[in-house]
Structure formats: structure tokens, C-alpha cells
Structure 1
């Protein structure tokens, strides 16, 4: 080492010291600065010539370099609060023949955002490396499970990587069956909370009179013991509220308090507990509609909607259809224990021409059923459900005027759609109409 350093010109050593670390400082056994690079001086707004020779704590606020010199213990990735922000610093003692003669320190990340961003990227890379080793019984999802390369999906994935390291609440909007839970899991697994629980609550599946206790727990009474709620279970981790629009208004008040203060108050109790929970909500209908009908609090909406992910329905991202279908098809084959299966061209034509009102969840069910219903090596259309095989009606020229023909075709489309989807809300979504417009057309044709 000594021979190597002797052969390195001084200007090379200076360039290494100036650029090997973004910010770099060396102190002697008295914690006085022997060397500090120019970039660090610029950030500290000090003159390098004046800084050299001074006690390090007079130049760098909140430094702990003197502690390293005294104790001989290194500090690795230690938080350092300086100029209003936290940074991560390494501090290493310098020893000669076992005696501490000084220490050197370097700033690894200039702020914690740099660290969080790297942490998220590292976790995503590790997911890619270990994806083949995941258990088939794994019930959680990662960002690698979100298939598709459309602009919409790429944009959502990029947003997830940016916001995952934060503790901010997230709202995921999308129709039923679009895979909102997968996006919630992805946020959790890329966050610093990934080693803590992700607790899911389906707000629509729990009776309203039980939901408050299910979430917030219940205090001890003379006749019943204390009950811990799902929020207690999620402490330190993430709480995923699926169908958050179904929360009763009194529960919304308590949730708002939790978001604002971090305090949780159990039912039948005046005591409050501090909890550290990140909230992710999912809604399959616009919460603004629920606000207008006074079923959702406006102040809670503004508290959770700052980061909103809009998951598009499958019919609006058909460029992803082939990749999604291939992935689900392979999964279904493996689960069914079959060696090889292929989709007949006509079968694939039916799948791609269908409008998929149930979105990805419906597609998955159709593929799984087709795999089990096929005894040979080729999946033919007869393995598909009737609604998938129904073709759209085409217009045939007649002696009627264009307006009359269009009205006739419109009436037929309305009838066919209502036959498949009696729920008028679903029919309106399929037809791309507002509910009021649909009702006007139904009244016009007396349907």
C-alpha cells in the first residue's frame, strides 16, 4: 500500500479525495480538522483555509466526530441533522499501531429522501432477483406482479416507487376487479414498513355496527375483556381499507382523527393510544359522488386524496391484454397440474373482443375455468362462458332513414346490455354513459 501511494502523483490523490465522496472530512486526535473537501465547504458555507485547524464541532453543526475519536467506535449510516434536514453519515476512527490518531467522516446521502429512494429501488431489484423463489402460496403481491407496459400502468408503477418510502396516505381509485389490492401491496412492500404487518379490512364486507370495533377495538368493561382492533394490529405497518367509501360516518370521524393526530380511541373507552400506521384506501366509485350524497366526509376526502392512483379498467388498457392473459394462463396451468395447454386462435379472438366489465378478476376466473374444463391440449371456445362468446350485432342497410336506423340500433344495444347486466349502474359503466343519461334513454324506449 505504501509503495502504491508513493507512486501516485499528488494531483491524483487530491482528485480522489475531492470526488471519491460527496462530502468528506478528516480530523486529528484532538478532533481538529486536518482536511475537508471543497464540496463540503460549499454546503457549509465556510472557507476551507479557515476551516482547517479548527475544532470540528465549530465548523459542522451537531457533528459527532469527536465522539468517534474518543470512543474508537465507528458510526455507519448514522443520521446527522444539519441545516434543517437529516443526512446519513459514516464516521470511522483512524488507528496506527492500535492507537487512535484521528477519524474521517463522509456524508453518504445528503438527505433521507436519497436514502428512501435508494431503499425502494433496492427492494424492487431484490424482488426481481428472488421472484422465482416466491412460494406459490404467497398471498401478498409485489410490483412485479402488476403486469402491463401501457403508459397508464408504467405511470402508476413510477408513482408507486416515488411515494412508497413516505408515510403519506394513498387513495386508489378504480372499478371493481381492476386489482387495486395489488397496488396497495406493492406500496407496502417497497416502503420502510415492509417488515411490519399489512392489515386489510374490507369495509363493505363487515356490518356497519361491527366495523368500528373491528377497526378501533373495544375497551375493557365489567362484562367483557379488552379487544384489540385491526389498527392496533397494523401498528408500525400499513392499514389497507378496501372499499373505504362504505365506512359509516362516525367511523370516518375517528379515522380522520387517527390521520391527523396518530391517536386511536377504542370503543367504550376514554383512553387514547398512539399508533404509527400508514393508511391506504381503495374505492370503486368516485368519493366525490359520495360527498354530494353526504355519505362521505369532505374533510376526510381531502386528507387522503393528495396522492391518488387511478387504476384504469381492463377495456382501457387492452395493449396489456396479451401479457396479462399469458401470465394468468401460465399460473392456471401450473395450479391445475397440467403439462401443456394452448389457446385456440378463435378462443383468443373471443377474449380480446369481449369488454370485460368485471375487469382483471373476471378475466382470471374465465381463464381458470377454461383450463379446468379442457381435457385436451387446446382450449376451444366451448370452454368459455356464454357472455364472452356473444358477438356484437352489426348494422344491416334498410329503407329506413339514418336517424331511424340509429335509434333502432341504440334500442337493441340497450336491451342486450340490460339483459347481460340488469344492474343499471353496471350497464351505464359498460355503455360509457352517466346514470342520468341512461335513465333518459330507457324512458325514451320504454325499457
Structure 2
């Protein structure tokens, strides 16, 4: 709590006190920073009380009022730079407390003889009044903090609602829509700024918007709603608010039935997830699955190495579901998307307001299960040190607990960076690297397992076709050859994206090269497996590789020199080759 945040209110209070008592008033925060003042003191507001804060410090340390009748000569004042020559003639101060915690000090200061006389003439009454004013400031601080918390909650809820996959529509007592989130607009085929009109709202059954059900009760059913693009089948759930009123506010939750079915299917599939679900005949993949089987039930940490998009999260899940921990939680934290403070809270827990306890962090929530730390290379050094201590002790130590909490989980981390290089650079702890890299797993890139590209493509074709209620029988020869010949810098994630794009674009029963994103349509049908003897001329292959790299960066809207990064050559070499091949 910072008194600075309500400085205007405090200044109004001290001015009122000074007017009533005809004595100067001063307020300082916990760091002995002047927050408010009157008279000659006012010019020192927003300044730190250096070497003159000993009386206030005693007040905050003891939590009790302090009375000084002879400032500059009192024993408390001895360390002060004004000792023996203090401009103050008298001082009475008392602590400002919130929940037994001192957050500042308020003082009555006599700078003139008549002010000193008024201050000490009726000291008990003045002290009592000062304590009441301290309580008033504390109440304003609590009120401000409550307001800030409510504002934060409102912002969180607003953000959450806007990013929910479910559509949210709020209907007021007059039957008008007063809130709708982007997902609901999409489901109802509305524009970005449009609200449902009365005709659309009228399609929701009236008996579900009145007092026929209790407040907070949820009622759901499948409806066919007429939108501007035709009928749309949606699963509609109603939540009523304001119990006891004759009319109701209603929150309507909209879901796509097909998405519900897909989610249920994914949950069912996920419960049986194992290594057999990993598609691949590549020798590296076969060896990887064998190593995963051998180590699935070990307690030792696993570090998964692999380029972005190779499926490291999927491999971590497979280990979990194959192991004896399959019925326990699988908790994921991405170290790259959380701030340092947020990552610490998510991992180790954070204090619960109003209690002496802390909420469980991911390390505790994963109890008995698996904690997957993705992008571990992005973890700040401070969090690395804390994690290392936890792994070494296999226990969590909390301020609210005298005993360490035993750590019962399997830790799996993943990275697309070379951690040994980061250790050499000093941005990753060497001791943590060795602690995590007990069982290293190396996931090959898609370009290094070309024999798996088509089986993976067929899997994604079935998956995305089912999700989009489409039926595709096959991929034509040109489509397949392009898949095999492309170098896939985005790996399996990019392959899935390309197939999903094609599923949405193609209206026939077969995917063709024309179904592909633009940057893939100009790639020739060359692959390492399909090259004829005449295609093995190194000069021809080099020219083709450069031509394809130029196409890729062009489609991405990047400058031509970015192609050098794709090819693994210098810019000067690239431009010399472009001139040499007339590209």
C-alpha cells in the first residue's frame, strides 16, 4: 500500500486538521517520504526525510504514538542533523495502520510558540483527534485499494470475456443486448461493431429469460437461429442474474455444437495418448520412441531439444500418458510468454490476500504428475536459481510454512535453443542445465524425416476436414510432391497450418496445388526421394534452392537478403549467386 497513491485526499485531510487546530500537520509514508504537509512544511512535500526522520521511525517501529516536547534536545533527536537547533518547538505523531500494519505516520508540528501552547494545552484531546485522523486516512487507503482491486478485476473479466472461445451475450431487463463479445459476433454472423437486433433476440425462448428458473441456474438447449447468413445451429446456455426481481438480466453463452463434439473427441483421444499415436517411420523417431518407453516411469528430469514447431509439447504429453502418472495432472508453463514476476508466481505460488497462506503454484498443482516447462531457455536467471534449489532439495519452502513441502512430480523441459551456448554466454545456469539434461531427447526437424511428411499430412487432412465438416478423399500428385519437396522451416506446425488452409480453401473432393498458400504454389516437384539421376547436378540443385528461398521471402513480405538466412550463406554470397544464375 502506497500513501502516495491517495496524496490529494491526504492533503485535503491535513489542511482541514491544520485549519481546525491551528497547528501544522505532516504525513510521511513507510519509506519516510513526505506525502502531505501544511504551512512551511508544504514546500517539502514529495521530498525524502533524510537524517531527520528518527521520531517518525520510532513511531513506525513501535506502532505507538510519540510525543516530543523539546525537539532538538530529546534523546531521540540526537542523531538528527538538526539536533540542538531544531526549528520545531513541539511534535506529536501517531502511526497510520491498515490491518495491524503501519503504512505511514501523521504528525502535529508546532513551529510557533502559540502553536506549541495549543498543542500541549489539551494533549489527550489532540492526540485522540490525531488518531482518528490517522484512522480516516487508513480508511481512505483501504477504499482506494478496494477500488483498484475492483478495477483490476473488471479489467481481467473484460479481457477474459473478450478472449473466450464461447460467445457471450448479455440481455438487460428491457430485452436489449448491452454486451456481446467477439466470439458471439462471429457465431451470430455479426459485424465487428454490430449488436443483435430485436428480431434475433426474440428467437431466444422467452420463458428462459424470465422468472421460470432460479437465479444463477444454468439452462441449455440447441437452437436454430436465423442470422443474416441463414440458419445457424448453436448450443445456447442461459444464466439468470438478480434473484428476487420480477424481471431478469440474462447472460447467454453460445457454443458451436461441432466444436463441442471435437473437444470431446480430443479429450477421449488424449486419455489414451501413448507412443503409438506418434506418427513416423523415420529411424530417429523410432529410436526416440524407444528411449521414451524406457524412461517414461523414471523420476529423472527430461530435456527435449528440437526446433520450433517439431511437436515437443506433444512428446512431453505422450511421456506423461504412457507413464504411471497418467491419472495425475499434466501442467504446462511457457517460460517465454510470462514476465519474470508472473513466472515466479505461476511456478511457486503467490500470497492470498487477507490470509497468511499462499496459493499453490504449478510445482504443487502438478503433485504426483508432470510439470512441462516449455521454452526453458527464456527463464530469467532469478527463477532459474529458485528452480535449481527446488530440484536439488526436491521440496518447496514457503514463508507461511515451517516445514518444506515434498516435491512429487516429473519435470520435463523443452527448448529450441542451444543451452550449452547460452551457458557459455552466461544467460543460462550451468548447474541447472546439468540438472535438467539428465535424459536428453532430440526431436528431428521435419526436413530430416521426409518419409513422414505424407503420413503426417494425411493425419492433419482427416483432423481438419472433420473439424470443418468437410470430406476430402485424397491429395493429388502435385500437392503431395510439393509437400515432400518443401524444406518446412516451421516444421510440423507449419505443415498442419498448410493443410488446414487447403481444407478451408478447396471446394472439391481432392486437395490440389492450387489449394496451397501462395508461397508454396511455385515450388517445383523436386524432393530428395523423387530426384532422378539427371537432377543430381549440384549446380542445378543450388540454383533451385536459391530460387525457392527467394519465393519464400517474397511471399512473407521480407527483403531479398533474408533468403541468405534460409540458405545458411552470407549476404554477399547470396547476391553473387543471384547474379551468376540470373535470378
Q: Same fold (TM over 0.5)?
A: yes
5+ residue gaps, structure 1, are 1-133, 395-402
Counterpart CA distance in 1 for 2:426 and 2:507 is 53
Q: Deviating runs (4+, > 3 A) in structure 1?
A: 219-225, 265-272, 403-430, 437-447
CA contact (8 A) 2:472 2:511 kept: no
Counterpart CA distance in 2 for 1:423 and 1:215 is 41
Which residue pairs with 1:342 in the alignment?
474
Deviation at 1:417, TM superposition (A): 5.6
Q: Deviations over 1:333-366 (max 9, x none)?
A: 2222223432122122222211111111111111
Task: Map 1:170-185 to 2 at 5 A.
Answer: 170-185=302-317
Deviation at 1:443, TM superposition (A): 9.3
Cα 1:440–1:196, aligned 2, differ >3 Å: closer, same or farther?
farther
Cα RMSD (Å): 3.7
CA contact (8 A) 1:219 1:267 kept: no
* Count of residue pairs brought into register by the alignment: 303
Higher relative CO (CA 8 A, sep ≥ 6), structure 1 or 2?
A: 1
Task: Map 1:39-438 to 2 at 5 A.
Answer: 135-138=264-267, 140=270, 141-219=273-351, 226-266=358-398, 272-391=404-523, 415-416=550-551, 418-419=553-554, 422=558, 430-431=566-567, 433=568, 438=570
Cα 1:293–1:237, aligned 2, differ >3 Å: closer, same or farther?
same
Counterpart CA distance in 2 for 1:369 and 1:257 is 46
TM-score by length of 2: 0.47
Cα 1:276–1:404, aligned 2, differ >3 Å: closer, same or farther?
closer
5+ residue gaps, structure 2, are 1-262, 527-537
CA contact (8 A) 2:377 2:415 kept: yes
Deviation at 1:173, TM superposition (A): 0.5
SS in 2 for 1:136: helix
Which residue pairs with 1:89 in the alignment?
none
Q: Deviations over 1:14-55 (max 9, x none)?
A: xxxxxxxxxxxxxxxxxxxxxxxxxxxxxxxxxxxxxxxxxx
Q: Deviations over 1:47-103 (max 9, x none)?
A: xxxxxxxxxxxxxxxxxxxxxxxxxxxxxxxxxxxxxxxxxxxxxxxxxxxxxxxxx
Q: Deviations over 1:221-277 (max 9, x none)?
A: 668862211111101111000111111111111111121111223589886422212
Deviation at 1:291, TM superposition (A): 1.3
Counterpart CA distance in 2 for 1:186 and 1:337 is 28
Cα 1:445–1:223, aligned 2, differ >3 Å: closer, same or farther?
farther
Counterpart CA distance in 2 for 1:336 and 1:405 is 41
Deviation at 1:185, TM superposition (A): 0.8
Q: Deviations over 1:299-320 (max 9, x none)?
A: 1111111211110010100011
CA contact (8 A) 1:218 1:226 kept: yes
Structure with bigger gyration radius: 2
CA contact (8 A) 1:216 1:267 kept: no
Q: Deviations over 1:153-181 (max 9, x none)?
A: 10000000000011110000001110111
TM-score by length of 1: 0.60
Deviation at 1:197, TM superposition (A): 0.5
Counterpart CA distance in 2 for 1:404 and 1:194 is 52
Counterpart CA distance in 2 for 1:185 and 1:348 is 29
